[in-house]
Amino acid sequence: MSSREAEARGLVADLFRRESGRLIALLASRVGVARIDMVEDAVQDALVSAMRNWSMNVVPNNPTAWLYTAARNALTDRLRRARFEIPTEFTQEQAADPDNAFSTEAAFDDELLRLIAFCCHPSLTPASQLALTLRLACGLSVDEIAHALLTTPQSMNQRIVRAKRDLREAQVTFDIAPRELVQERLPRILNAIYLLFDAGYLSPRHPQWFRPLLCEDALRLVRMLAAHPLTAEPETHALAALLHLTAARAPARVDAEGHPVPLAKQDRLRWNREVIDAGMEYFSQSIRGDAVTRYHIEAAIAVTHASASSLETTDWAQIVRHYDQLCELFPSPIATLNRVIALRYARGAQEALRALRASDELHAVQDRMVYHATVAELHEALEEHDQAAAEFSAAADLAESDTLAELFRRRAKAAKQT
């Protein structure tokens, strides 16, 4: 493959990842969601066509419009062969300038929002909502989704096929009232985006512990929701703040060997200030209402971290108070474990270890890598090196990422030698 071909393929792959969801949304709105499988195939045809044409010819001035036109033409052919009616809009668009056809951001975003709401229909489980969102709105392949959600491609394909069938049998469409979108679908949509970001930012049980492309997908979707007049709610801005403030640390959380760098050792000068500023602006918009969601509280914690120039100047007492509120209003073992970590810096490792041992809720995560890594850190801070080594070894055994397993084995060895 020549360098020109490789460059063209990279451009197409990047563009397709960003635009496939909007193309599917726009075309499905034309032919109906009952034919969404045919729409997906047509969009895939457009990708293949772009891969072939752009490597041999000049990349078009408006690549998105080019992809839309190619997908629309492919869909027209598929509809004609299946003897389905061809939408009038398609015939009219074919006579227009393809570089100007449906290239406006507003038109695309309106349809993408309706597609995401369709994927997050209340009749589906959260797992199916996330899988369908990743497939249709983010353009991930079945293999990529299975890889991201720790299952087999066969199981994931069955889940997606079943979700589409359930929506088709229930005669669910893209049509949704604004009130229903905000009150019923928006929390589900935000949860799907939260899970998407989480799957990319830290996956202790995944071979790749950090997958920035998933994080970028989540940021792209939450920015669209925060800008859209129907979904620009305080809860949306809170999630946007949380994800941006967390993503801003990405340049400092991976060392030269690809190992994770804990917060305590990160070079904060490498944090992305532009992304932090965006997160701060989203947070200021999120607190204009009366709502207090878990995203608000977690975003407030992220704001406290981003406002500090170092670990030592961080207001850990404030972070503990935020976690107290989070554990009271939205309890979970992970929130409790994170409160323990904050306690270490606010009141000392000994008190943090006592809180960990006293928590019945943390029994549910004693078989998780993150639990043993936390215990190890506390023992290490107390200079209890044998216990720290044992816990680091346990964390290594539970890590499905080779990178994380190697890191914890190295720390266990260092603890034994201290």
Q: Render pLDDT for 314-370 as a digit per residue (tens, 0 to 9).
A: 999 999 999 999 999 999 999 999 999 999 999 999 999 999 999 988 988 898 888
pLDDT at residue 199 tops 90:
no
Q: Can you say whether residue 348 is alpha, beta or left, with left for phi > 0 and alpha for psi between -120 and 50 degrees?
A: left
pLDDT higher than 80, residue 160: yes
- Tell me the HSE value of 155 on the side-chain side, using a 13 A CA sphere: 9
- Determine the Cα–Cα distance for residues 305 and 347; give it in Å rounded to an integer: 17
Percent of the chain with pLDDT over 90: 50
260 phi and psi, to 5 degrees? -70, 140
**Residue 301 tokens, joined:** 């914690």
The least confident of 31-45, 48-62, 254-268, 301-315 is: 48-62
> Taking residues 116-135, what's their average pLDDT?
90
Query: What is the H or E stretch that residue 110 is in?
Result: helix 105-119
Is 264's pLDDT higher than 60?
yes
pLDDT (0 to 100) of residue 364: 83
Residue 160 CB partners (closer than 8 Å, separation 6+)? 128, 131, 132, 135, 142, 145
Question: Is residue 377 pLDDT above 90, yes or no?
Answer: yes
pLDDT bucket at 65, cuts 50 / 70 / 90: confident
Give the position of tokens 């608000």.
296
> Residue 369: CB partners within 8 Å, gap ≥ 6?
204, 205, 395, 398, 399, 404, 408
CA distance 276 to 270: 11
Q: Which of 134, 136, 137 lies closest to 147 in space, CA to CA?
A: 134
Please write the tens of the pLDDT for every residue from 73-102: 999 999 999 888 887 777 666 655 555 545
Phi, psi angles (nearest 5°) of residue 255: -85, -175
Specify the pTM.
Answer: 0.84
- Computed over every residue of the chain, the mean pLDDT equals 87
* Alpha carbon distance 141, 122 (integer Å): 24
pLDDT computed for residue 1 by the predictor: 55
Residue 390: DSSP 8-state: H
- Are the C-beta atoms of residues 172 and 33 closer than 8 Å to each other? yes
